[in-house]
Amino acid sequence: MALSMRRFPLPSVKLSTLLVVLAALALGPIIWLVASGMITWNAVIQVAIVFGIVLLLTKPIGLYLYHILRGDRTWLSPVLRPVERAIYWVCGIHEDQEQGWIGYTIAMLCFWVVGVLLLYLIERVQGILPLNPEGFGGVEPGLAWNTAISFSTNTNWQNYAGEQTMSYFTQMVGLVFHQFTSGAMGIALAVAVVRGFTRRSARTLGNFWVDLTRIILYLALPISIVGALFLVSQGAIQNFSDYTMVHTLEGQTQTIAQGPVASMEIIKDLFNNGGGFFNVNSAHPFENPNALTNLVEILAELSIPAGLVYYFGKMAGNTKQGWAIFGAMFALWLIAVFIVLPAEQIGNPLLTTQHVGNQTFTINQTAQTGTDASSGGNMEGKEVRFGITDSSIFAVSTTMTSTGSVNSFHDSFTPIGGMVLMGDIALGEITPGGVGSGLYGMIMFAVIAVFIAGLMVGRTPEYLGKKIEGKEMKMAALALLILPLSILGFAAIASVVPAGYTRIYNPGPHGLSEILYAYTSMTGNNGSAFAGLGGNTVFYNWTGAYAMIIGRLLFCIPIIAIAGSVVKKKIVPAGAGTLPTDGPLFAVLLIGVIIIVGALTFFPPYALGPIIEHLFMLAGKTF
How high is the pLDDT of residue 601? 94
CA distance 385 to 587: 37
User: Which of helix, strand or coil describes residue 434?
Assistant: coil
Q: Which of 318, 342, 544, 525 is nearest to 438 (CA)?
A: 525
Residues 6+ apart with CB under 8 A from 399: 410, 421, 422, 424, 425, 429, 526, 528
Q: What is the DSSP secondary structure assignment for residue 404, as one 8-state letter?
A: -
CA dihedral 530, 531, 537, 539 (to 10 degrees): -10
Q: Is there a contact between 97 and 210 (Cβ–Cβ < 8 Å)?
A: no
How high is the pLDDT of residue 459? 77
Residue type, 150: S
DSSP H or E segment with residue 606: helix 584-606
User: Which of helix, strand or coil describes residue 619?
Assistant: coil
Residue type, 96: D
Residue type, 245: M
How many angstroms from the chain centroid is the CA of residue 248? 38
Residues 6+ apart with CB under 8 A from 73: 81
Q: Is there a contact between 340 and 396 (Cβ–Cβ < 8 Å)?
A: yes
Backbone angles phi, psi at 150, to 5 degrees: -60, -50
Query: Hey, CA dihedral for 199, 400, 613, 44, is it positive or negative?
Result: negative
pTM as predicted: 0.92
Q: Which of 100, 308, 69 is nearest to 205 (CA)?
A: 100
CA distance 386 to 407: 8
Q: Which of 28, 30, 43, 26 is nearest to 371 (CA)?
A: 43
Q: Which of 612, 548, 157 is nearest to 419 (CA)?
A: 612
C-alpha distances out from residue 293 to 229, 282, 288, 299, 429, Å: 12, 10, 6, 10, 23
How high is the pLDDT of residue 15? 52
Mean pLDDT by 10 residues, the chain (623 residues): 39 54 71 88 95 96 97 94 97 94 97 97 96 95 96 95 94 96 97 95 94 97 97 97 90 92 97 94 96 97 97 95 93 94 90 50 40 62 93 96 94 95 92 92 94 83 90 94 96 95 90 95 94 91 96 95 94 78 90 93 95 92 81
